[in-house]
A and B are shown apart, each in its own frame.
Chain A
């Protein structure tokens, strides 16, 4: 899922400074699971904005609304009654949700309330880690289901490097060496021979090369 983190209140206050009627829009998708932009966080953000405004000698009015997903037009229609009449929207969804609102509601000023941070998952209550870099050319089949692109600090294809010590990465002792994890996993699976094959340089054309990526399924188009 997409992991996001709340922006500092001061930054949001600067963005919405010229406006008085604000809609704080949440999303019940990924950002609700990572406790950054669900219904509760919308309530907290709206309250924080009201408190911060009051402290700075200005009164703002807030509306709160959380929809199932901000990244799909069908669900975005539910925001229509909330958006009408407000000066600006603070979206607590990921960057996709913010852009989807901007596309659908052309008159609305939309501001991000969170920083979209990475693709990951919770490893324990309150802890999320990056797992995927969305490189567009998945290698998990040859690395025992552990991604060297996202989880190796150097994104090595033929690791480990000399900085792997005791299963930890030289970049930070809290980071597990992805290539140690890959080795251990392949050993458990009895597939260590997969490491004998030298991987050629990765084809990055499927990643951020060449501009916006797009997938078209002709069979699904209407």
Chain B
């Protein structure tokens, strides 16, 4: 092989970096029992002020407040402040009714001028609780989330360790009955939360306090200025980074479970995740001095953490580089390109097996409900390519005779076209995922969006959304907080 061919082969294998990073995270997560910061044995019940930002949450706020009242937490140690961001529906009435029902627990804070976004709403509540001075820890939750009864006491026990500045819970998808999109998200959260955050516990650096449920010790909160960042679309990630840079450890508790309602269609998912992707660009840029720099970034400056962060952050680019490398090899030496292609996709098979089976092991309850979506996560097309690339002789024995039976010739241009198709698929699938989201809007064809989602895959969809987020950020689009609509679909069986 020439130097150019080695270079192109290296580009191709860049496409495997996100999967290798995934395996790295699952390997770390599997030793979580032994390598994490020790969980203090005992209980701690600091006075916790829960801030609930709410804008037009009439469908969910009453139930949320009922379940907060049912938390296993000592009476008198908990206050819930609903910051009503100038809601125009029945939210104020619902909250006032709950404040009367739970005196001393629920408080209604009304902003007459709203619409500035979630971070501003939270800051309004924070200003008031800081003036009041009662709290020892502050917890910010979304208006729709359902904390399981032991969640808060499981989170607060970590504050027995004086080095812990903040704690985040395990957010799980709670829509019941969930649809296909909900179940894909539920499976995604095993990876993105259950595994990734366990791995980050082991590394000693957390990427993000879940926006839906984050607990911060008062001293840590005051150390970062006592306010939530309003300059980015990822205020929760900024808080997480600042707490750690101020010397506080951030801990994920996988046994403090919080149910959240997630988008039910591709359009809603697209809007939510574009916002997250743009926020990640802003955070990566705002904290550019910490990467690979332990002196400045502390635990965030570690190589392992940066590897995880950037393999996800750069995933769309890595896919494009991988495709470009394969096509380059194809035009130089087709045989070499086939060899490298098979190596890449066989590596994909191994990582897919490890990640999928480990996900089933890490959260068997969710896996039981969503195993089909777990298996189909990369998409049926990608699974077919994995099978073809990994065991070509087995598939040739089946596929070629079948094509002959159908009267399709397997000589001539067809093999070349098929080869180029599978080479460009890692990039092309993002385009198909984008088209699928458009398909969902077309009246009469909406039914086809879900079968297409299984074909194209949920992973490629996330990659496409990330790309769209980056492009939007590069264009300098307005930072509009597009709220995810909540309809109260969290299953009644999940509420206390």
Physical interaction between A and B: no
